[in-house]
């Protein structure tokens, strides 16, 4: 009977955590409206956060917490703060950032700017959060505690790990479009530091709330609210910047590659503007993706010069785009 109940708890937990996690992932991925990242890289980033980052995080944090516990005691407030508000954020943000760095250095063709970094970082963060939330929920003693923890960790604060690592990703994205080495390093460090500090504020507020003043949970909620507002603002900025990029770098493709109507529809803020081209929904997505990739490659050519097969890619994308808009 106990085994059946345990298996039921595992099954319910795995599925229940997956649903809001998938919703958060979709919401963040929608920020990259025009040029979607390859699905295999998004899945890879999620798996990195869920397996290597989560497993190594547990091991490293257990090791680092030993001297803190020996010196300050397991139940002391100072020990809890060091463990939860300093060690955990530093270790976890460094580990989650690993996959963003891998894509940045080894798959630069799929890393175009700060929006890409935001998405890749968020996917790694959500992978980490998924495993962490499952473990915490499986550690509850009854369904009442399970439900309370589920609401707090998965629903209320479910976006946080994705948000924190997205800040690191933004740093890498800013570095991607810089030609000055010192600015690249500073951008990455600034993004990583922002992720760590926001993570520290959240964990520290919750730790103090448990030990001293329950109202300090409002600090964590304010931190969460600020992150949510920032992501919404970044979504608006990303859509605006992408539309400007399309207008600027596809203008000279008219009329040889793009028809005037196709160009106008691409740059239109209206969601259903591309209906004028009489393409299927799948063809519309491919058309937008190809157009955005062409504009992105041309912008990189202007800003960064020739990189790898940039010129060949531009000609190939022109041919694909021409086939859509005729």
Q: What is the mean pLDDT of residues 255-276?
A: 79
Q: What mean pLDDT comes out for the span 128-155?
A: 93
Q: Encoding tokens for residue 169?
A: 């990703």
Check residue 6 and give its pLDDT: 78
| pLDDT surpasses 70 at 294 | yes
Is residue 1 over pLDDT 60? no
Place of tokens 């009329």: 255
**Whether residue 274 has pLDDT greater than 80:** no
Q: Give the Cβ contact number of residue 33 at 10 Å.
A: 15
Percent of the chain with pLDDT over 70: 94
Q: What angle do CA 39, 235, 162 make, to 5 degrees?
A: 55
> What pLDDT sits at residue 105?
93
Using pLDDT thresholds of 50, 70 and 90, give the confidence band for residue 325: low
Phi, psi of 211 (to 5 degrees): -95, -35
Compare 300 and 126 and report the one with higher pLDDT. Answer: 126
pLDDT value for 303: 85
Q: Does the model's pTM come out above 0.85?
A: yes
pLDDT tier at 7, thresholds 50, 70, 90: confident
Residue showing tokens 């505690």: 145
- Short-list 245, 227, 242, 236, CA closest to 24: 227
170/60 Cα distance (integer angstroms): 26
Residue-wise pLDDT for 177-219, tens only, equals: 888 999 999 999 999 999 999 999 999 988 887 766 656 677 7
pLDDT of 275: 63
Tokens 């969601």, residue located: 271
Mean residue pLDDT across the chain: 89
Between residues 275 and 160, which one has the greater pLDDT? Answer: 160
CA distance 223 to 217: 10
Residue 93 phi/psi, 5-degree rounding, is -70, -35
Predicted confidence band at 276 (pLDDT cuts at 50, 70, 90)?
A: low
* Whole-number Å distance between alpha carbons of 280 and 297: 26
The whole-angstrom separation of Cα 26 and Cα 161 is 15
| Cβ partners under 8 Å of residue 125, min gap 6 | 49, 96, 160, 161, 162, 163, 164, 165, 166
Q: What is the mean pLDDT of the segment spanning 50-59?
A: 96
* Of the listed ranges 19-33, 92-106, 126-140, 257-271, the one predicted with least confidence: 257-271
Q: How confident is the model at residue 66 (pLDDT cuts 50, 70, 90)?
A: very high
Tokens of 9: 């708890």
Asked whether the beta carbons of 187 and 171 are under 8 A apart, the reply is yes
* Average confidence (pLDDT) over 89-106: 96
Region of poorest pLDDT, from 49-53, 154-158, 237-241, 302-306: 302-306
What CA–CA distance (Å, rounded) separates 169 from 223? 19
In tens, the pLDDT along 75-97 reads: 788 888 999 999 999 999 999 99
Tokens of 202: 């959240």
From 141, 158, 175, 159, select the one nearest 304 (Cα to Cα).
Answer: 175
Pure H helices in the chain: 2-29, 39-48, 54-72, 77-81, 88-106, 114-138, 143-149, 160-176, 181-211, 217-250, 260-267, 281-304, 310-325
CA distance 60 to 56: 6
């Amino acid at each position: 009977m106990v085994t059946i109940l345990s298996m039921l708890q595992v099954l319910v937990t795995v599925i229940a955590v997956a649903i809001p996690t998938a919703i958060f992932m979709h919401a963040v991925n929608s920020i990259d409206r025009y040029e979607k990242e390859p699905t295999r890289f998004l899945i890879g980033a999620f798996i990195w956060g869920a397996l290597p980052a989560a497993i190594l995080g547990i091991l490293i944090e257990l090791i680092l917490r030993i001297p803190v516990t020996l010196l300050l005691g397991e139940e002391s407030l100072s020990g809890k703060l060091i463990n939860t508000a300093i060690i955990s954020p530093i270790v976890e943000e460094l580990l989650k950032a690993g996959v963003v760095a891998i894509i940045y250095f080894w798959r630069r063709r799929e890393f175009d700017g700060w929006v890409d970094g935001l998405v890749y970082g968020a996917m790694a963060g959500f992978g980490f959060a998924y495993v962490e939330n499952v473990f915490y929920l499986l550690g509850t003693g009854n369904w009442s505690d399970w439900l309370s923890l589920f609401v707090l960790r998965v629903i209320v604060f479910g976006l946080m790990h994705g948000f924190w690592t997205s800040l690191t990703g933004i740093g890498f994205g800013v570095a991607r479009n810089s030609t000055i080495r010192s600015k690249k390093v500073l951008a990455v460090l600034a993004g990583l530091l922002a992720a760590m500090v926001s993570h520290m504020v959240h964990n520290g507020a919750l730790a103090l709330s448990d030990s001293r003043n329950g109202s300090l949970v409002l600090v964590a909620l304010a931190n969460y609210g600020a992150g949510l507002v920032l992501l919404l603002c970044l979504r608006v900025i990303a859509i605006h910047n992408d539309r400007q990029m399309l207008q600027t770098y596809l203008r000279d493709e008219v009329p040889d590659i793009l028809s005037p109507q196709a160009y106008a529809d691409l740059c239109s803020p209206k969601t259903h503007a591309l209906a004028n081209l009489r393409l299927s929904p799948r063809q519309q997505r491919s058309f937008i993706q190809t157009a955005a990739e062409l504009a992105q490659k041309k912008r990189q050519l202007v800003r960064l010069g020739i990189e790898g097969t940039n010129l060949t890619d531009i000609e190939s994308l022109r041919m694909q785009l021409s086939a859509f808009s005729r």
